[in-house]
Amino acid sequence: MSALTDDLPLLTVDRLGKNYGSRIGCRDVSFELYAGEVLAVVGESGSGKSTLLSLLSTQLQPTAGAIRYRMRDGSVRDVFELSQAERRFLMRTDWGFVHQDAAQGLRMAVSAGANVGERLMAVGDRHYGNIRHAALDWLGRVEIEADRIDDAPRSFSGGMRQRLQIARNLVTNPRLVFMDEPTGGLDVSVQARLLDLLRGLVADLGLSVIIVTHDLAVARLLSHRIMVMRQGRVIETGLTDQVLDDPREPYTQLLVSSVLQV
């Protein structure tokens, strides 16, 4: 990739909005995301952050605005104007999605190796040995023992499932990964290990990440920039340390003081 295109944002979100009938899901969200950048979207439940994530990952159709993505070939496309085939292809190659509930992102009845290998097979890899090798490699990178490769994730602990889900997403070297509360529901010690791993992977691979979380500690540890949402709108945005150390909006102040003290 040339330095020239690296100056361009990977993702441009322009006045994005979603209404559910008369109720507002989110409104007027604009931002740019550059390669290698991690953006945290924080807010309480009902703030619109999950709606936003569903829009960004094209699982929901917006009622207003546009999302432009710089494809691997350098062309910039409106993701909602991609054909269904293009969009599904994008989602299983250049994008990843890590769900809070690993069962939603994994095939629970299929072995760990096949879970990791599925994306490779989906894009046409037809060599069992290579697929297995790639799966072993990725299991290692997410710290899952090689001898678990033929076990189904049903037998995995919560933390392992989450790491497996990450490996399954990263095997095609995506450039953009969406994460929905990836540490939610895990024990504190397990969370710490997972966050550590994620931080390492994101830095090593130069991933762009949009992570939705209600946990400001997660945002501080992983993200470069932060967006605070309330009632469907972005109320504050900036560098993570800046926003968390010196929040401007009274709501953000409340959020920071109530959570970070714990």
Smallest distance, Å, CB 146 to another protein?
Answer: 8
* Closest to another protein by CB, 71 or 235: 71
Among 147, 250, 261, 262, binds another protein (CB under 8 A): 147
Taking CB under 8 A as the binding criterion, the range among 6-14, 40-48, 142-150, 254-262 that sits at the site for another protein is 142-150
Dihedral of CA atoms 187, 192, 198, 199 in degrees, nearest 10, equals: 160
Q: Give the three-class secondary structure for 204.
A: helix
State the nearest-atom distance from the C-beta of 228 to another protein, in Å: 28
**Which of the ranges 53-61, 120-128, 165-173, 224-232 carries the binding residues for another protein, by CB under 8 A?**
120-128
Of 81, 73, 10, which is closest to residue 39 (Cα–Cα)? Answer: 10
Q: Smallest distance, Å, CB 155 to another protein?
A: 10
Taking CB under 8 A as the rule, does residue 9 contact another protein? no
Q: Is 85 in the site for another protein (CB under 8 A)?
A: yes
- Residues 102, 153 contacting (CB under 8 angstroms): yes
Structure tokens that stand for 47 in this block: 């703030």
Among 15, 107, 154, 199, binds another protein (CB under 8 A): 107
Quickly list DSSP for 15-43: EEEEEETTEEEEEEEEEEE-TT-EEEEE-
In this structure, are residues 92 and 122 in contact, taking their beta carbons and an 8 Å threshold? yes
Is the CA virtual torsion 201, 168, 34, 62 positive or negative?
negative
Q: From residue 167 to residue 206, what is the string marking binding to another protein with x (rule CB under 8 A)? A: --------------------x-xx--x-------------
94 binds another protein (CB under 8 A): no
